[in-house]
Chain A
Amino acid sequence: MTEVPTVAHRSRLRTTVETVLRNRLAVVGLIILGALIVTAIFAPLIAPHGINEIDIANRLSGPSTDHWFGTDDVGRDVFSRVVIASRVSLQVGLISVGIALALGVPVGLLSGFYGGKVDSILMRLMDILFSVPAIVLAIAIVAALGPNLVNAMIAIGIVYTPIFARITRGSVLSLRDAVFIRAVRSLGANDARIVISHILPNVIAPIIVQTSLSLAFAILAEAALSFLGLGVQPPNPAWGRMLSDGRGFFQQAPWMAIFPGLAIFVTVFAFNAVGDGLRDALDPQQRSVIEARGAGE
């Protein structure tokens, strides 16, 4: 009897996870992120001191067993503040990227799917947002709306919307005329169904990759904004703001600036590492939106 060989069927999710886990750097990133999330959730329990526990007698003292990261200019424990501030950063990161996704992906879907006038108008709009460097735009938005946490999230979300729109649109364009779409359409599926059930699952991969990378940049952006005093307002600690405070005390207490910055670096690094791992696993040939820019004009 003929034995017909079959190809082992592994689900795409499983292959993706396996590939990512094979990438050591991505695994390191995942571990760091895990630690970060745990820290953020249990922050009040982890922080040994209160964030506003002023202790003038011990101000500007270096790292010690009682104060792992030292104390700042009014004696507050830097470690506790860094830990609590992780909540701000993660929050801003997640929500602002969430906003960017919620705005950008539908725009990209509509633009790519319907083309024509809709596409032109929406892409012009995205171009305009692209015309101003990200930080500058975020600063302008926050300046207008008022400096606080929510506005910072909105500003960063708006700034990162065009990237998601571009990526989604690019993927949709390459799929729109694919044969299987025509097949589904000939079976009577309406537009909404086609977009949601057939196109969306296939464009998810680059969106996921971009999400991870955007999270990294969003956290950087939040740090920049709070560094400039435009993010979370005192007394709530934020890494960027702590950096800014630390500037004035460089000579006496460099740890005030070193540790918050280190926290930012490690977090961003982790998100980037995971993002790169995802990109290698999901779509090694992904041309980023940057390379696609020329083709889209």
Chain B
Amino acid sequence: MTGQPVLSVNDLRVSFATRDGLAPVVNGLTYQVAQGETLAIVGESGSGKSVSSMALMQLLPTPPARVTGEALFEGRNLLTLEEPEIRKVRGNKIAMIFQDPMTSLNPVRTIGKQLIEPLELHRGLTGNVARERAAELLDAVGIPSARERLDDYPHQFSGGMRQRVVIAMGICCEPDVLIADEATTALDVTTQAKIIEEIKDLQDRLGMALIWITHDLGVVAGVADTVVVLYGGRIMEQAPVDGLFDQRRHPYTRGLLASLPVPGRNRPKKLNAIPGLPPDPLRLPAGCPFSPRCVHAVEVCRSDRPDVRWPLDDHAVACHFDPEELYA
């Protein structure tokens, strides 16, 4: 961590009231991000990664969802802010961009209007001034003929362009934190790489903290400073990116890395998938959530929740055993 944390999340818990009971989706998530730092939150679908971020900005409908914990930003707990207050934060101090650019944009409104909305709301820009600024933003994210394209509709843009528009909407008020939830998953590999580059560029220029949510470890390597690995709504491992890839102490992280397909002629015949299925929030084991699928699991894993240990100052693992014991 390179300085004071800009956002500090403590013991975030989110559960959903379903017909079949209370489903705990996020179970005690704790992390910090500093200015200019990039934190990657990695997990499978259903690991609670998206839900945790949406909870930060109170974007979850609170009858079915129950949120507890702390998310400290500018000295206040985001989770307990009143509606008018949290609205001032959304899109302004903390911005979130989502996965599918086709559905994330309103199909019946011009992108100009959609871009101007936050400018109007948070910066009080109107009329031509707002349009100018919007055109500048489109320019900044690499959209040609920005001024003319303000009056176009989302379906008139390609996938990569649309995502750039979404990014422009996200950074338009120069937020302190940008949360990118699977922002490049729906794009092809080349566009993915370009977009990642552009976001990192913007991050440098604006000094934003970046929270990158993904299931793709390959992306993580190129983007993150610190990585948090989630499973069953809990942190399994947390480390600086190099440390994670070099030392991969948690069995789940190992499994994830091992399952990455290896290009080249001497590939193994089979892909190494982690056996089993993602956990059902309604049926989590009492102990370690990964225990049903862990090849090293023993009785204590299933019955007792492992504490978070810190073998190194900046590297945490939630496992009953030391990696030396497991991988000797």
Contacts and interface: CB of A to CB of B under 8 A. Distances in A.
A and B touch in the complex (CB under 8 A): yes
B285 to A, nearest CB: 9
A4 interface: yes
B61 interface: no
Interface in A150-180: none
Interface stretch (B35-43, B168-176, B272-280): B272-280
A6 interface: yes
Contacts of B48: none
B292 interface: yes
Interface in B291-328: 292-295, 297
A2 B294 contact: yes
B275 A2 contact: yes
A1 to B, nearest CB: 8
Interface residues of B, number: 11
Nearest to B298: A1
Contacts of A2: 275-276, 292-295, 297
A4 B293 CA distance: 6
Contacts of B293: 2, 4-5
Interface string B238-277: 0000000000000000000000000000000000000111
A295 interface: no
Interface residues of A, number: 6
Contacts of A7: 277, 280
A291 interface: no
B280 A4 contact: no
Contacts of B297: 2-3
Interface string A16-34: 0000000000000000000
B273 to A, nearest CB: 11
B282 to A, nearest CB: 11
A15 to B, nearest CB: 13
Nearest to B275: A4
Nearest to A3: B292
A10 to B, nearest CB: 13
A2 B295 CA distance: 6
Interface in A22-59: none
A74 to B, nearest CB: 56
A270 to B, nearest CB: 26
A3 B280 CA distance: 15
Contacts of A4: 275-277, 292-293
Interface in B112-126: none
A5 B293 CA distance: 8
Interface in B93-117: none
Nearest to A2: B295
A3 B277 CA distance: 11
Interface string B210-229: 00000000000000000000
A2 B292 CA distance: 6
B75 to A, nearest CB: 43
Given A4-B276, A5-B277, A5-B279, 19 more contacts: A2-B275, A2-B276, A2-B292, A2-B293, A2-B294, A2-B295, A3-B292, A3-B297, A4-B275, A4-B277, A4-B292, A4-B293, A5-B276, A5-B280, A5-B283, A5-B292, A5-B293, A7-B277, A7-B280
Nearest 10 A/B pairs, CB to CB? A4-B276, A5-B292, A3-B292, A4-B275, A2-B295, A5-B276, A5-B277, A7-B277, A2-B275, A2-B297
13 contacts: A2-B276, A2-B294, A2-B295, A3-B292, A3-B297, A4-B275, A4-B276, A4-B277, A4-B292, A5-B280, A5-B293, A6-B277, A7-B277
